[in-house]
Amino acid sequence: MRKLVLPLALVLTVGAFAQTKNKSSKFAEDITAKDLKAKLTVIAGAEMEGRETATPGQKRAAAYIENFFKSIGLQPGTPNGYQLKYPVYQDSLSNAALTINGSVLALDKDFNVSPASFITGSWKANEIIFASYGISDSTTNNFSGLDIKDKWVMVLDGTPTDGDRPNFRAIRAKMTGLTGKGAKGIIVISKDFPKAKPAGLKGNMYITKRTASATPVINISVSQAAAILGKNGAAFADLKSAVRGVYNASLALDITTTTNTLESSDVIGVLPGTDKKDEYVLVTGHYDHLGKRDTVIYYGADDDGSGTTSVMEIAQTFVKAKAKGNGPRRTMVFMTVSGEEEGLWGSDYYTSNPVFPLEKTTVDLNTDMVGRIDPGYKGDSLNYIYVIGEDKLSSDLMKISDSVNNSTMKLELDRRFNDPKDPNRFYYRSDHFNFAKHGVPVIFYFNGTHKDYHRPTDTVDKINFDLMTKRVKLVFYTAWAMANRDNMLVRDIPLPKLER
Ligand SMILES: [Zn+2]
C-alpha cells in the first residue's frame, strides 16, 4: 500500500493552528466534567419541567441561562436584552358540532377535531370520498380514479404496515398529500373512540398564522364511518376492504376556536471580538424539550440539555481567555434556542430576523445531544462524535475540523450520518439546518440516538460527563480556530438541493 502523503495545504493548516493551540489549551482546562454536571443538573432538573416551548418551564430555563450569561459578563444579544422573543400561537376549541345524515355526533364519543387543525369555520358537503388509507407513494395509489379536489375525503387512520408504533413520517406525508391534492376537509377513521380521556380543548402550538382556507381535520369513530360506507356494525379491519369512491352523505361541521398568543425566546449572549468584531462565530444548542405529559417529566438531559450546557461552558471559557488578554478576534455569539422540538422554530426565527448579519457569520457550531453514547457505535465508543455538515458550503470546514481535532482531542470524527440522504435525515433535524439553508457553513455535533431518546428517562445520571467534556473541548478548540483565523470561511460550495 502506498504511503499516505498529506497535501501541503493541510500540513500548513495544522501548523498554523498548532501556534494558537498552546494558548487555547490552557483555557480549555477550565472545561470540566464537574462544571458541566453542575449546570446540566439545573437545566434538566425537575423544576424546569421538561422545558417545553412557551411554557413556564421553558421560561425558567431561559431566565437561568440569561442570568448565567449576565453573571459571566456577556453582553445582551438584542437591544431589548438577552432574550430574542418570538410569538407562538395556540388555539383553543370553544365549540365543535358535527352532523352527518341528520344525526348529531357527540364530541369525544363519535368524533373529535384534530388538535393540529383547530380553526374557526362552517363546512357543508353532500358527498364524502372514501380513499382507503389515503396513501399515494411509489408503490401504492389510493387515489386512482378519484378526484378529491374541493371534496371531503375520508381515510383510514395510520398505514397498512403500522406495527405497535405508528409510522409518524408516513402519516405526516399522507396528511400533506391530502391537503396537497386540494381536499376541502379530511375525516380520519380512528379506532380509539370513545375516547377514554377527552383529547382536550387546547390545540397544537404553531408559529405561522393560519389562513381561513386551512383544511379542517376531524377524527370519527369506526361505527360512524361504517354507517357512511353502508357497512353498519363493521370493524376497523372490515373497512379496509370497503370500496373506494364517492358516497352520498350530508355533512355539516361548525368549529369555533379562539387564538391565544404565547411567547418563547432564544437566549443570546455576546462576547465582542477585537480586530474582526464585525464578523461572527455562532455557538448554538437548543434548550427546549418536550415538557411533561400529565405529571411525567421529559427531562431532556441529553436532548438538548447537553448542548445548552456546552454553549454555556464554552462561553465561560472564552470570557476567561479574554480576561487574560486572549479575547477572540471575531465576535462570539452564544445562543441557546427554543422551539427546536416543535420544528426548529427558534433558529428559524433567528435566521429570518438575524440580529447579526448572516453573511458576516463565518460558522454555526451546533451541539444537539453530546452527552451520551450510541449503543450501536462501532469504534472507540468513549472517544467519538458524529459530525455532520462539514463538506457543505465551505471547503475550509472539514480541513479545519480535522486539523483542530488532530492537534487537540484526537476524537473519532465519525461522518457516517453526514449525507442528507441518510434515512435518519439528521442533517435536517437540528438548528444548524436553518443556518445552512441561509448559506452559513455549519458543523453539527451529535452523539447518535439511544433508548432514552424522547423518553422521560433521558436523565442527568445517564450522561457520560468525561466523554462530554472531550466533545465540548473539541467544539471550543474549533470555535477558537474559527474566531481567530485571518479569513472568514470561504463559501465556495453551493448548498445541495434540499428536501424537507
Ligand atoms: Zn429532540
Residue 497 belongs to some domain of the structure: no
* Average pLDDT estimate for 163-180: 80
What is the pLDDT at residue 497? 78
What is the pLDDT at residue 21? 56
Residue 1 belongs to some domain of the structure: no
260, 289, 312 — which closes off a domain?
A: 260
- Count of domains for the chain: 2
pLDDT band at 256 (very low <50, low <70, confident <90, very high): very high
If you ran DSSP here, which 8-state letter would residue 64 be given?
Answer: H
* Average pLDDT estimate for 138-163: 90
**Residue 130 predicted with pLDDT over 70:** yes
Indicate if 113 and 81 belong to the same structural domain: no
Measure CA 168 to chain center.
15
Indicate if 346 and 358 belong to the same structural domain: yes
Indicate if 124 and 223 belong to the same structural domain: yes
260, 282, 314 — which closes off a domain?
A: 260
Q: Which residues contact 419 (CB under 8 A, 6 or more apart)?
A: 427
**Residue 48 predicted with pLDDT over 90:** yes
Cell output for 2: 502506498
Domain with 163 in it: 89-260
381-417 per-position pLDDT tens digit = 999 999 999 999 999 999 999 999 999 999 999 999 9
What is the pLDDT at residue 481? 97
**Residue 73 predicted with pLDDT over 60:** yes
Give the Å distance between the CA of 275 and the centre of ligand 1: 38
372-391 per-position pLDDT tens digit = 999 999 999 999 999 999 99
57 vs 114: which has the higher pLDDT: 57
In the chain, the percentage of residues whose pLDDT exceeds 70 is: 93
Give the Å distance between the CA of 320 and the centre of ligand 1: 31
Residue 491 belongs to some domain of the structure: no
Indicate if 75 and 96 belong to the same structural domain: no
Give the Å distance between the CA of 290 and the centre of ligand 1: 8
What is the pLDDT at residue 178? 92
Indicate if 355 and 390 belong to the same structural domain: yes
Give the Cα separation of 59 and 51 in Å (integer): 8
109 vs 2: which has the higher pLDDT: 109
Give the Å distance between the CA of 96 and the centre of ligand 1: 33
* Average pLDDT estimate for 16-31: 76
In the chain, the percentage of residues whose pLDDT exceeds 90 is: 79
Cell output for 435: 443556518
Indicate if 82 and 96 belong to the same structural domain: no
**CA geometry: angle 222, 225, 231, nearest 5 deg:** 95
Indicate if 390 and 280 belong to the same structural domain: yes
**Residue 4 predicted with pLDDT over 70:** no
The single residue listed with the C-alpha cell 498552546 is: 22
Residue 494 belongs to some domain of the structure: no
Give the Å distance between the CA of 343 and the centre of ligand 1: 10
Residue 480 belongs to some domain of the structure: yes
What is the pLDDT at residue 376? 93
Indicate if 464 and 423 belong to the same structural domain: yes
- Residue 232's CATH number: 3.50.30
Indicate if 48 and 114 belong to the same structural domain: no
Give the Å distance between the CA of 220 and the centre of ligand 1: 31
309-346 per-position pLDDT tens digit = 999 999 999 999 999 999 999 999 999 999 999 999 99
Indicate if 423 and 330 belong to the same structural domain: yes
Indicate if 354 and 394 belong to the same structural domain: yes
Residue 102 belongs to some domain of the structure: yes
Residue 303 belongs to some domain of the structure: yes
**Residue 7 predicted with pLDDT over 50:** no
- Residue 59's CATH number: 3.40.630.10
245, 260, 275 — which closes off a domain?
A: 260
Give the Å distance between the CA of 297 and the centre of ligand 1: 14
What is the pLDDT at residue 2? 33
3-state helix, strand, coil in the chain (%, to 5): 30, 25, 40
**Residue 356 predicted with pLDDT over 50:** yes
What is the pLDDT at residue 318? 98
Residue 317 belongs to some domain of the structure: yes
**4-12 CB contacts, 8 Å cutoff, 24+ apart:** 9/399, 10/399, 10/402, 10/403
Indicate if 111 and 74 belong to the same structural domain: no
Integer angstrom CA distances of residue 58 from 152, 284, 463: 39, 17, 21
